[in-house]
Chains A and B, each alone.
Chain A
Amino acid sequence: MINIELRLFANLSKFSPKNSKNFPIDNNMSVKQLISKLGVDIDQAKIIFINSRKKNYDDRLKDGDKVGIFPPVGG
């Protein structure tokens, strides 16, 4: 297991786990798997950033990563 820091923005904040600052996940988990684990609709997880850099669904997570998930905003 590894630990990441999670931040979910706007309407996704309701999916934020209580232990979001130190959230345990399996080694080598992908961004897509993380989104699924959180119960977030993949279409709502429009912008993923890890350590302030935009990432893709297939990117893998490392211990200590700071992960942000931002929904599509069009208004």
Chain B
Amino acid sequence: MTGNSLLTNRYSRNFKSLTQTEQKILGKSKVCIIGLGGLGGCVMEMLARIGIGTIKGMDNDTFDSTNLNRQLFSKEDLLGKSKAEAAEKRIKSINSQIKINCKKELLTKENAYELIKDSDIVIDCLDSIQTRFVLQNATKKASIPLVTGAIAGASGQVSVIFPSDKGFELIYGKKGRDNSKGIENELGNLAFCAFFISSVQVSECIKVLLKKGNILRNKLLIVDLFSNSFEIIKLN
């Protein structure tokens, strides 16, 4: 395929589910993904393929063999390598027309705001409840919407938190900030659940950017794929 036809055809299968105008909006959009593991890798891949113009990602971790069961960017020859570096390399090979910037860095109270402040939307692909509250504080300060997803075993959840929303307090409780632990250590994490929940996160992200469809704002989608239970709960 020539360079020109790549430009012309790359997004042709996005239409007419998306309009040309919407595609342009996505091309001008900046999305920040926090965490590049099971959820974050899938989220980043889908955002790159759909045509988000600027994608930023961060993860301080390196791949180990326990990641191979579900993390899209993990490969046997990348064990021990940085998740951020692997993500950037893969995304560049998928879509050279977008800007990609992945940092090998840990999200902290000190750096969170600076890392996310230039984005239009942030996607939470973290694996720690406490760190989610840190991220939410930063997105509130920066007035940026946040799409959160979490998984454990064959179960998961997704919600969209706007700056004025209570957000994680409604999901994890006031005490969640300090001492909540998820059940993922007990149940592990399955590939089909990570891919499912990350798909819903991307769908929510695109809808927020394009201001279309129903958004899971002040709502929580909870999913149990073993029992095929899907429930949208009103949080307030």
Interface residues of A (CB under 8 A from B): 7, 9-11, 13, 44, 46-47, 49, 52-54, 68, 70-75
Contacts and interface: CB of A to CB of B under 8 A. Distances in A.
A70 B171 CA distance: 10
19 contacts: A7-B229, A9-B155, A9-B227, A10-B153, A10-B224, A13-B224, A44-B183, A46-B172, A52-B232, A52-B233, A53-B234, A54-B170, A54-B233, A71-B182, A71-B183, A72-B172, A73-B151, A73-B155, A75-B38
B7 interface: no
B134 interface: no
Nearest to B150: A73
B220 interface: yes
Interface residues of B, number: 38
The prevalent SS among residues of A at the interface is mixed
B236 interface: yes
A46 B150 CA distance: 14
B118 interface: no
Interface of B: 38, 127-129, 132, 150-157, 170-173, 176, 180-184, 186-187, 189, 220, 222, 224, 226-227, 229, 231-236
Nearest to B193: A75
A74 B155 contact: no
Given A10-B224, A73-B151, A74-B183, 5 more contacts: A47-B222, A47-B233, A49-B231, A74-B129, A74-B152
Nearest to A53: B234
Contacts of A70: 155, 157, 222
Contact of B224 (A9, A44, A75): A9
